[in-house]
Amino acid sequence: MADEKIVIGTETKYPLNGILTIPNKINGLVPSVILVHGSGPSDMDEKNGDNRPFKDIADGLTEKGIAVLRYDKRTFVYGKEMKNDTGLSVKEETIEDAILAADFLRQDSRIDPNKIFIIGHSMGGMLAPRIDAEGGNFAGIIIMAGSPRKLEEIMMSQNDEVLNSLNPFLKLIAKKQIASLSSKFDNIYNLNDEEAKSTKVLGKYVRAYYLKEMGEHPSANYLQELEKPVFILQGEKDFQATIEKDFEGYKQLLGDNQNVTYKLYPNLNHLFMPSVYGKILKAKKEYKVPQHVDQQVINDIAEWILSV
**Three-state SS letters, 148-186:** CCCHHHHHHHHHHHHHHCCCHHHHHHHHHHHHHHHHHHH
Q: Is 32 a catalytic residue?
A: no
> Contact, 73 vs 123, CB < 8 A?
no
Find the CATH number of the domain harbouring 299. 3.40.50.1820
In the chain, alpha helices (H): 53-63, 74-82, 90, 96-106, 123-131, 151-164, 168-187, 193-197, 208-215, 219-225, 248-254, 283-288, 295-307
The C-alpha atoms of residue 122 and residue 258 are separated, in whole angstroms, by 23
The C-alpha atoms of residue 297 and residue 280 are separated, in whole angstroms, by 22
Which residue of the set 32, 89, 122, 147 is catalytic? 122
What is the reported pLDDT for 170? 62
Residue 291 and residue 190 share a domain = no
Residue 179 and residue 119 share a domain = no
> Contact, 68 vs 105, CB < 8 A?
no
Residue 156 and residue 127 share a domain = no
Q: How many CB atoms within 10 Å of residue 186? A: 10
Identify whether 76 is part of a domain: yes
Q: Give the CA radius of gyration of the chain.
A: 19
What is the reported pLDDT for 172? 62
* Entry pTM: 0.93
Which residue of the set 238, 246, 275, 292 is catalytic? 238
Identify whether 212 is part of a domain: no
Identify whether 210 is part of a domain: no
The residues pairing with 120 across neighbouring beta strands, listed in sequence order, are: 36, 143
Taking only the tens of pLDDT, the chain with its 308 residues reads 789 999 999 999 999 999 999 998 888 999 999 999 999 999 999 999 999 999 999 999 999 999 999 999 999 999 999 988 999 999 999 999 999 999 999 999 999 999 999 999 999 999 999 999 999 999 999 999 999 999 888 887 776 665 566 666 666 666 666 666 677 788 889 999 999 999 888 777 788 899 999 999 999 999 999 999 999 999 999 999 999 999 999 999 998 899 999 999 999 999 999 999 988 778 889 999 999 999 999 999 999 999 99
Tell me which amino acid residue 52 is. R
Q: How many domains does the chain have?
A: 2
Residue 156 and residue 29 share a domain = no
Identify whether 173 is part of a domain: yes
Q: Is 238 a catalytic residue?
A: yes
Q: Is 270 a catalytic residue?
A: yes
Residue 39 and residue 170 share a domain = no
> Contact, 110 vs 2, CB < 8 A?
no
> Contact, 149 vs 215, CB < 8 A?
no
Residue 25 and residue 164 share a domain = no
Residue 44 and residue 189 share a domain = no
Length of the chain: 308
Parallel, antiparallel or unpaired: strands 67-71 and 30-36: parallel
Domain range holding 158? 151-205
Which residue of the set 270, 275, 292, 294 is catalytic? 270
